[in-house]
Amino acid sequence: MRHNVIFLFFISLGALLGPGITFAQEEVVQDSIDDREKYGLRVGTDLSKLARSFFQEDYEGFEILGDYRVYENFYAAAELGSERLPFKEDNLSVVANGQYIKFGVDYNAYENWTGMENMIIAGLRYGFATFSQELEEYTIYSTSQFFGPDIRTDGGTTSGLTANWIELVAGLKVEVLNNLYLSANVQLKRRLFQTAPNNFDNLTIPGFNRTYDDSNIGVGYGYAISYLIPIYKK
């Protein structure tokens, strides 16, 4: 009779523990790769403007930029800059001096693999600039060469000029080191409104670049380095 009890005890022990052991074997092994993506504030500076300031004698410019990931593929983006922009044609030479701000949205059209944070950017901006323009040199144009050229340097400076525009941006942004990004973009701009000097025109605008006689279109480009300050992961 005592052997039966002992035998019964061991069987019940097995019955109790058995299922426990089998459950432990069916449990899913936790994946060690983190597929969450980084969200944070990215700030940077435009390298092309720094390089141009160094190599081009009459140009001086500086731009800081930033973007913030709002939701999945959408980023709020802004650029803030200051430029001393010269513009020369055959018969005209001006310099525009001023500041600009651009803000808008970037959309990431690239599907990243896990752990990567690169972008193909399609963006939209609204830009605004305040500046002054100095007319350094201008020609009084005449079809007759009889009295020789009349080139004047008394153009003067007009301040308090403004301009605003909208911009389409297309670019790439690549993570080269941890949280460090390099980006390149091209911009297509359309000028909306401007205040221009009396008896003249805005030939070049900080943030917009050169303007044309009979259209509101402008183009630009950027090459920047930026750093992501991570805030959270999702």
CB of 191 to another protein, least distance (A): 13
Tokens standing for 142?
């005449």
- When asked if residue 153 is in the footprint of another protein (CB under 8 A), the reply is no
Cβ atoms of 228 and 234 closer than 8 Å: no
- When asked if residue 56 is in the footprint of another protein (CB under 8 A), the reply is no
How many residues line the site for another protein (CB under 8 A)?
Answer: 35
- When asked if residue 217 is in the footprint of another protein (CB under 8 A), the reply is yes
Cβ atoms of 121 and 171 closer than 8 Å: yes
Instruction: Using the minimum distance from each CB to another protein, give the nearer residue, 34 or 214.
Output: 214
Please give the distance of CA 140 from its chain centroid, rounded to a whole number: 42
Write out the binding residues for another protein, residues 16-45 only, by CB under 8 A.
none
Q: Contacts by 76-79 with C-beta closer than 8 Å and gap 24+?
A: 76/103, 76/104, 76/105, 76/106, 77/103, 77/104, 77/105, 77/106, 77/123, 77/125, 78/102, 78/103, 78/104, 79/46, 79/103, 79/125, 79/207, 79/222
CB of 78 to another protein, least distance (A): 21
- When asked if residue 58 is in the footprint of another protein (CB under 8 A), the reply is no
Please report, for residues 67, 109, 122, 129, 173, the alpha-carbon distance to residue 105 in angstroms, rounded to integers and kept in the order given: 9, 13, 9, 19, 15
> Tokens 């390089």 — which residue?
51
Instruction: Using the minimum distance from each CB to another protein, give the nearer residue, 27 or 213.
Output: 213
Instruction: Using the minimum distance from each CB to another protein, give the nearer residue, 105 or 172.
Output: 172
| Segment contacting another protein by CB under 8 A, of 64-72, 78-86, 165-173, 223-231 | 165-173
Write out the binding residues for another protein, residues 71-130 only, by CB under 8 A.
89-92, 109-111, 120, 122
Distance CA 109, CA 135 (A): 43
The conformation of residue 214, written as its DSSP 8-state character, comes to S
Instruction: Using the minimum distance from each CB to another protein, give the nearer residue, 43 or 168.
Output: 168
- When asked if residue 139 is in the footprint of another protein (CB under 8 A), the reply is yes
- When asked if residue 147 is in the footprint of another protein (CB under 8 A), the reply is yes
CB of 106 to another protein, least distance (A): 13
Cβ atoms of 188 and 171 closer than 8 Å: no
Tokens standing for 179?
């949280």
- When asked if residue 170 is in the footprint of another protein (CB under 8 A), the reply is yes
| Chain contacts with another protein (rule: CB under 8 A) | 89-92, 109-111, 120, 122, 138-144, 146-147, 150, 168, 170-172, 186-188, 199-201, 203, 212-214, 217, 219
